[in-house]
């Protein structure tokens, strides 16, 4: 709660200094192509106490590459509040992974091991928020903002040898993001931005293990937990005219999901719960787009 209250108070304090700013362009629209690479993994234990063994099954999705588009906008009101919206949708084009089960603690005595292809799937991201821009000089601005965000990624487990294997894992993350953005006008043509963010995550995942007979389908098991993460983005823009500019950006976002609950849904209609050991996502992003401001 303290983490959420702090940025709200900070925004209110900044708001008192806003009237010293000069007027500028109030609406910005941006669209372009987006590329992501995601390394994602999770594991479960053998029981709710986190033992027997401490890692029963572990999934790793490696270098899940996706390509798509993004849309971005921001609007500054007459009261100098700034509203933001962002949407991105990608299709997975390449990737692989591994699925390993263990009999004993600390990843020893594996009982099952399978490498799979993961060249299909989806990635969707949405953000909406409000911030307070502050002009430090004619060339430098900073903006503190608070966002609601939602990301969804659908992973596939596929195989060239096992044609019927089409298992899926859908990871949903939503929560609150706090960000600080700095903008600098390097010269009349070139400008740059640096964004730092911290986010609180509610995590829910659903899996369909289509070749495991004991599981129900389409919902074989689910994961529920929460976590935290941080990110950094760097943007470079080049003004092509008074209204249009070309922008390129790179980003890194890491999210760590804490221990939670794994629930398996059996065809006998029984449910088995065990400890979800958590998950880790490392997401790299590149984008190229066109921005118009007026």
CB neighbours of residue 17 within 10 Å: 12
Cβ–Cβ < 8 Å for 202, 174: yes
Nearest-Å Rg of the Cα atoms of the chain is 22
> What is residue 246's predicted lDDT score, i.e. its pLDDT?
98
Using CA atoms, how far residue 147 sits from 28, 51, 129, 248, 257, in Å, is 18, 38, 4, 22, 19
CB neighbours of residue 233 within 10 Å: 18
Q: What CATH number is given to the structural domain containing 287? A: 2.40.128.90
**Concatenated DSSP letters of 82-97:** EEEEEEEEEEEEEEEE
Q: How far apart are the first and last CA of the chain?
A: 38
Residue ranges, the chain, pLDDT below 50: 1-22
Domain that holds residue 283: 2-293
> What is residue 78's predicted lDDT score, i.e. its pLDDT?
82
> What is residue 24's predicted lDDT score, i.e. its pLDDT?
62
> What is residue 229's predicted lDDT score, i.e. its pLDDT?
98
Number of separate domains in the chain: 1
- Kindly tell me the sign of the dihedral angle through the C-alpha atoms of 135, 136, 142, 144: negative
Q: Report yes or no on whether pTM surpasses 0.85.
A: yes
> What is residue 80's predicted lDDT score, i.e. its pLDDT?
80
> What is residue 25's predicted lDDT score, i.e. its pLDDT?
76
Q: How far is CA 145 from the centre of its chain?
A: 17
What is the rounded distance in angstroms from the CA atom of residue 263 to the CA atom of residue 275? 9
Question: Tokens 């900044």 sit at which residue?
Answer: 14
> What is residue 6's predicted lDDT score, i.e. its pLDDT?
43
Question: Tokens 């960000």 sit at which residue?
Answer: 179
**Quick one: residue 243, left, alpha or beta (phi over 0 = left, psi -120 to 50 = alpha)?**
alpha
């Amino acid at each position: 709660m303290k983490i959420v209250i702090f940025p709200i108070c900070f925004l209110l304090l900044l708001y008192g200094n806003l009237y010293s700013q000069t007027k500028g362009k109030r609406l910005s629209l941006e669209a372009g192509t987006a590329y992501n690479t995601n390394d994602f993994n999770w594991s479960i234990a053998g029981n709710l106490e986190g033992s027997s063994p401490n890692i029963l099954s572990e999934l790793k999705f490696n270098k899940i590459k996706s390509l798509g588009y993004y849309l971005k906008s921001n609007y500054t009101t007459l009261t100098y509040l700034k509203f933001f919206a962002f949407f991105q949708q990608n299709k997975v084009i390449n990737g692989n992974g591994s699925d390993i089960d263990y009999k004993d603690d600390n990843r020893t005595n594996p009982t099952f091991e399978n490498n799979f292809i993961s060249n299909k799937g989806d990635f969707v991201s949405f953000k909406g928020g409000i911030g307070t821009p502050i002009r430090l000089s004619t060339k430098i601005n900073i903006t503190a903002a608070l966002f609601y965000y939602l990301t969804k990624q659908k992973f596939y487990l596929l195989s060239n040898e096992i044609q019927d294997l089409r298992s899926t894992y859908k990871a949903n993350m939503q929560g609150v993001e706090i960000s600080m953005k700095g903008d600098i006008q390097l010269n009349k043509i070139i400008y740059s931005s640096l964004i730092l963010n911290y986010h609180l995550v509610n995590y829910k995942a659903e899996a369909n293990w289509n070749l495991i007979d004991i599981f129900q389908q389409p919902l074989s098991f689910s994961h529920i937990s929460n976590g935290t993460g941080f990110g950094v983005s760097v943007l470079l823009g080049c003004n092509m005219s008074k209204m249009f500019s070309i922008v390129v950006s790179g980003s890194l976002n890491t999210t760590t999901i804490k221990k939670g609950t794994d629930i398996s849904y059996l065809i006998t209609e029984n449910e088995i719960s065990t400890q979800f050991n958590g998950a880790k996502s490392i997401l790299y992003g590149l984008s190229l787009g066109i921005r118009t401001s007026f």
